[in-house]
Structure 1
Amino acid sequence: MKILVISKRRLYTGFIIIVMLCAGILLWRSLAKSTLWYTNENEPIRNVDPESNKFAITCNVDWGNEVIPDILKTLEEENVKITFFVTGRWASNNPEILKEIYSHGHEIGNHGYSHKMHSKIDRETNRMEIKKTEEVIESILGIKTHYFAPPSGDFNELTLEVAQELGYKTILWSVDTIDWKEGSTAQVILDRVLKKPHKGGILLMHPKPETAKALPVIIKNIKKENIQLGTVSDLLN
């Protein structure tokens, strides 16, 4: 009888240990997944927790002035705020359009000054491209930018180091419209965007006419997934 009691106790203790180990592993995996983008501060951010009900929209601007009003109109009608990453040279040449974007409540990010490939330039030029853009935007809007989107998504370790030294998080994307490519009609853009997972993701687009046509449908469809659309800050916070 004594042996039986001891055996039962051992079985019970072993069962408890296994349950606790399993719970610990599940908790660790959950925390690791939800904080993945924090694990290395010097890595670019493409998305966050895939279980998040948030989705950021970004628009990189170095041209496309004639399309921006249509994009702003759609965003206003859908009550969606997004992040516009602007180059310094564009901001310098188009201060009134930049003010208009900002006046609608949209977030402004740094897209480098002259759309250089940042993996191909030295430390000082990397720094100048980001810092000069920051100064131009601040002189127009009175705000400091905190997010940097390298042109064409081109970067290397040096780019990331410089951006971090200047107080920036480097932002990329998980869903790409590829709207700059020839043959990218509104329908093609829709097919590219809507077939991708959206939870915790970041959409990249540009002020292209076909993108402006596709945007209302993109927003409506993602909203149907009960996903909140917003800026990069909305997503990361």
Structure 2
Amino acid sequence: MRRRYWIQGILFVVLVMLSYGLFENTYTKDYVSVMENISVSSVDKSDSLYKEIEQKAPSFEVEPQNAKIHKVWKKMPGLNGLEVNVDKSYLKMEDTGEFNKEKLVYNETEPEVTFDDLPAAPVYRGHPDKKMVSFLINVSWGEEYIPNMIKALKKHNLKATFFIDGKWAQDHVELLKMINEEGHEIGSHGYNHPDMSQMNKEQITDQITKTNGIIKSIIKKKPEFLAPPAGNFNKYVVNVAAEHNMETIMWTIDTIDWDNPSKAQVMNRVIPKLEGGSMILMHPTKVMEDTLEDLILKIKEKNYKIGTVGNLLSENRS
């Protein structure tokens, strides 16, 4: 009896080994390799169309731009360049056999100096050649207007960056969770709306660590951006934020929505100044609840995308 079980065990092991060999043999690997490279092998580099794309590619390419400390806008991101992918462009044009610049395929190329390479400095805008803007929503009050603002953003499949006051977060845990669950970016707005420009390093450190701790305990993520209340900061604010791997965010365009303007006034404060890389400051107010969708539509009409601060400050072109 034991001998029979022993023989059965040997047969089982042999079958497993044979099965493994069947699926991992050299011929199978060669077949997979051929399938993975079939698109590459179909590129005929001797074709006159391929050579034409190679010849014309440099005239369509764009050099990457380095991040820099601007004399006015301070810390500014760079922008990836564009390099023609000749193989993929050829495959898109192969069916007609004719060169078509609209079918060119590009790879993005990184600049030598990126945003992360720069020293600590306040950030007022993204790169002007990037066709994107961001909504900065500073939250210390106005919770009654947030749900409808979220609905307007959701309707257009957009994400904003909400800078949350630590005290407000403690008092409105579920609302903060909802903002986060909707996929919006969460930054810090300090604790209890202080004037951080009047604080020393220790006080600023307490503001940052306290608010970060509160927000992280609620949404399980630490903020990467700090928006000092009322835009008040000193050198300690920027440096302490950097020590906590945070960027100090200001703004490019201010809606001044806290001063009870009309919808027309808000639109006139934003749209004429709009350009690539703009960061648009607002708050949860009645006028923004009523105006946000009109603002979104007008910005889209001008062919700008609307993204988070994180997206805006990346070197990616979109």
Q: TM-score, normalised by structure 1?
A: 0.84
1:107-166: CA deviation from partner (whole Å, max 9, x where unpaired):
100110111111101111101111100000011111111100000000011111111111
Give how far 1:34 is off. Answer: 10
Alignment match, 1:185: 262
For residue 68 of structure 1, the aligned residue among 146, 152, 156 is 146
**Contact 1:82-1:106 at 8 Å conserved across structures:** yes
**Contact 1:176-1:192 at 8 Å conserved across structures:** yes
Alignment match, 1:79: 157
The yes-or-no answer on 1:129 pairing with 2:207 is yes
Higher-Rg member (1/2): 2
Alignment match, 1:10: none
The yes-or-no answer on 1:109 pairing with 2:187 is yes
**Contact 2:136-2:163 at 8 Å conserved across structures:** yes
SS in 2 for 1:180: helix
SS in 1 for 2:121: coil
Aligned residues: 210
1:24-75: CA deviation from partner (whole Å, max 9, x where unpaired):
xxx79x5467996148431111112111111111100000011001101100
Amino acid in structure 2 at the alignment position of 1:119: S
SS in 2 for 1:102: helix
The 5 Å alignment of 1:30-109 reads 31=66, 37=76, 38=115, 40-109=118-187
Alignment match, 1:13: none
Aligned partners of 1:73, 1:178: CA distance in 2, in Å?
Answer: 22
RMSD: 2.0
Aligned partners of 1:34, 1:172: CA distance in 2, in Å?
Answer: 15
Alignment match, 1:118: 196
For residue 170 of structure 1, the aligned residue among 237, 240, 248 is 248
SS in 2 for 1:67: helix
1:184-218: CA deviation from partner (whole Å, max 9, x where unpaired):
11111111011112311101000000111111111
**Contact 2:68-2:118 at 8 Å conserved across structures:** no
Amino acid in structure 2 at the alignment position of 1:159: V
SS in 1 for 2:259: coil
Amino acid in structure 1 at the alignment position of 2:280: L
5+ residue gaps in structure 1?
A: 1-26
5+ residue gaps in structure 2?
A: 1-62, 77-114
Q: TM-score, normalised by structure 2?
A: 0.63
For residue 214 of structure 1, the aligned residue among 252, 267, 291 is 291
1:76-111: CA deviation from partner (whole Å, max 9, x where unpaired):
111110000000000011000000111111010011
SS in 2 for 1:133: helix
Moved over 2 A (4+): 30-36, 38-41
Amino acid in structure 2 at the alignment position of 1:224: E
Alignment match, 2:310: 233
Cα pair distance change 1:167/1:122, threshold 3 Å: same
Q: Calculate percent identity across the aligned residue pairs.
A: 37
Structure 1 stretch 147-156 or stretch 224-233: which is displaced more?
A: 224-233
Aligned partners of 1:176, 1:143: CA distance in 2, in Å?
Answer: 28
SS in 1 for 2:230: helix
Aligned partners of 1:105, 1:34: CA distance in 2, in Å?
Answer: 30
Aligned partners of 2:119, 2:157: CA distance in 1, in Å?
Answer: 32
Aligned partners of 1:50, 1:69: CA distance in 2, in Å?
Answer: 31
Aligned partners of 1:73, 1:49: CA distance in 2, in Å?
Answer: 28
Alignment match, 1:200: 277
Amino acid in structure 2 at the alignment position of 1:207: P
